[in-house]
Amino acid sequence: MSDKTYRVIQWMTGDVGQAGIRHFAACPTFDLVGVLVHSKDKVGKDAGEIAGIEPIGVIATDDVGAVVATDADCVFYTPIIMDVATVCRLLRSGKNVVTTAGFFHPTEDFRAAGDQIRAACTEGGASFHGGGIHPGYAGDVLPLTLARVMSRIDTIHLYEVVEVLKDAPLDHIDWMGFGKDKDAFLSEPTILGLGLPYFAQSMHMLADGLGVAIDEITAAEVDVAVAVEDIAHDEGAIARGTVAAQRHQWTAWVDGRPLIVFHAIYVTGGPDVLEPAWDWGATRYRIVIDGDPPTELTMQGLRQPDGTMSHPGYPWTAMGAINAIPEVCDAPAGWLTHFDLGLVKPRGLVRK
Ligand SMILES: NC(=O)c1ccc[n+]([C@@H]2O[C@H](COP(=O)([O-])OP(=O)(O)OC[C@H]3O[C@@H](n4cnc5c(N)ncnc54)[C@H](OP(=O)(O)O)[C@@H]3O)[C@@H](O)[C@H]2O)c1
């Protein structure tokens, strides 16, 4: 095994970026050499302080030019929204880019951006790779891994269940439309619905992996459940009668049959506070494959000795990408998909 160290830059320090800093600080495989922030109040702070750990001697800056000029093997790129021009600038500077911010499988939706990224990889002699938990793992890498032990596949269902008040940042309440009037919510575009091109990458990756072509992806169903009473949270309450849970369903059709069905289910309570009395249970990813043999897999946090259990969504998101950094840095230049990397061999996870 290689004990090589990779010099990394953390690009933005939101929930995913902070998980990145904590890992880079703890894991000897990585040497954190720069941190870029957008928020003025984080400029000049130690990266460890931003990420909720001890100071680590790396000071955050908002000077993009200085960070682009920093010598590093890889940028862990986790801004709120990917800027393709910036990613290309980093690649042209010779730095590999690994990101959770959207791209990971070439589809028609991202053809133009993908072409720019490939050209920048060639120019800079660098590589690009996208990953995460979903999309980028739970709905593509994981079902394909299960498919490896099956003899026939009829339909693949992926259920993403999130207990928003327990396992997501509070800003999700507003930006996902909880507390809205039901009819208004159902008549407007939803944040999750707007994300379909990103999740469609997972469906295309699954189909590509199974050697079939998707005819069409339909976004047929959005359901909501309303609160039967005020549901309190740290900054107020979701009012009785307003949207308190939402379910989105997208289907990828192959040869006239539904081959892949993604269910995104975000709830702020259980059957006691919802109408209809939805009971989706705890935050988790659940893959159900109808076929031979019928197979199911659930991925969730581990209950701790004190009885608590939380959803490690952000650490999973960060690590899904970070664990590929060594192989991305060591690979020939280009856009490296999950298929290009094959079975990733994480480095530095087993340590004293
Ligand atoms: N594939 C997956 O599984 C998955 C899962 C979760 C998230 N993601 C993606 O990963 C990325 C990071 O997620 P996150 O939850 O960490 O994001 P986030 O917390 O919402 O934001 C990331 C950071 O972007 C910077 N930022 C905020 N507003 C900005 C603005 N107006 N202009 C420029 N920068 C701004 C801030 O950096 P500073 O705080 O450093 O100033 C912020 O902390 C996002 O693109 C998200 O969609 C992917």
Q: How far is the C-alpha of 324 from the C-alpha of 131, rounded, in Å?
A: 9
CA proximity to 209, closest of 321, 81, 338: 338
Using left for φ > 0, alpha for ψ between -120 and 50, and beta otherwise, residue 348 falls in left
Look at residue 311 in the predicted model and tell me its pLDDT.
87
Look at residue 221 in the predicted model and tell me its pLDDT.
84
**Ligand 1 close to Cβ of residue 14 (< 6 A):** yes
**Cβ proximity of 9 and 37 under 8 Å:** no
Q: Which residue has the tokens 């539904």?
A: 258
Question: What residues have CB less than 8 Å from 216, skipping those under 6 apart?
Answer: 252, 253
Mutate to test the pocket of ligand 1, among 38, 62, 191, 198 (most ligand atoms within 8 A of CB): 38
Which tokens go with 18? 């902070």
pLDDT over 70 (residue 318): yes
Digit-coded pLDDT (tens) for 286-317? 999 999 999 999 999 999 999 888 889 999 99
What domains does the chain contain, in order, with CATH numbers?
6-131+324-341 (3.40.50.720), 141-313 (no CATH)
Look at residue 352 in the predicted model and tell me its pLDDT.
81
CA gyration radius, the chain: 21
Q: How far is the C-alpha of 267 from the C-alpha of 282, rounded, in Å?
A: 10
Please report which residue ranges of the chain form alpha helices under DSSP H: 15-26, 47-50, 64-69, 84-92, 111-124, 141-147, 164-167, 171-175, 182-187, 191-194, 196-210, 313-322, 325-330, 338-341
Instruction: Say how many Å lie between the CA of residue 130 and the centre of ligand 1.
Output: 14
Span 42-57, average pLDDT = 98
Look at residue 280 in the predicted model and tell me its pLDDT.
96
**Cβ proximity of 201 and 107 under 8 Å:** yes
Sign of the dihedral defined by the CA atoms of residues 56, 59, 64, 66, in that order: negative
**Ligand 1 close to Cβ of residue 135 (< 6 A):** yes
Q: What share of the chain is helix, strand, coil (3-state, %, to 5)?
A: 30, 30, 40
**Cβ proximity of 251 and 155 under 8 Å:** no
Q: Which residue has the tokens 């000071």?
A: 59
Q: How far is the C-alpha of 250 from the C-alpha of 231, rounded, in Å?
A: 28
CA 268 to chain centre: 21
- pLDDT-based confidence at 337, cuts 50/70/90? very high
Q: How many residues does the chain have?
A: 352
pLDDT over 80 (residue 27): yes
Digit-coded pLDDT (tens) for 131-181? 999 999 999 999 999 999 999 999 999 999 999 999 999 999 999 999 999
**Ligand 1 close to Cβ of residue 136 (< 6 A):** yes
Q: How far is the C-alpha of 149 from the C-alpha of 346, rounded, in Å?
A: 23
Instruction: Say how many Å lie between the CA of residue 36 and the centre of ligand 1.
Output: 12
**Ligand 1 close to Cβ of residue 131 (< 6 A):** no
Q: How far is the C-alpha of 287 from the C-alpha of 261, rounded, in Å?
A: 10
Give the end-to-end CA distance of the chain in Å, rounded to a whole number: 17
CA 233 to chain centre: 25
Look at residue 5 in the predicted model and tell me its pLDDT.
98
Please give the single-letter amino acid code of residue 216: E
**Ligand 1 close to Cβ of residue 317 (< 6 A):** yes
Q: Which residue has the tokens 């299960």?
A: 146
Look at residue 310 in the predicted model and tell me its pLDDT.
85
Which tokens go with 255? 């040869």
Digit-coded pLDDT (tens) for 319-335? 999 999 999 999 999 99
CA proximity to 142, closest of 202, 198, 61: 202
Supply the mean pLDDT for the chain.
96
Look at residue 1 in the predicted model and tell me its pLDDT.
54
DSSP summary character for residue 109: G
Span 66-70, average pLDDT = 98
Instruction: Say how many Å lie between the CA of residue 2 and the centre of ligand 1.
Output: 32
Omega before 312 within 30 of 0, i.e. cis: no
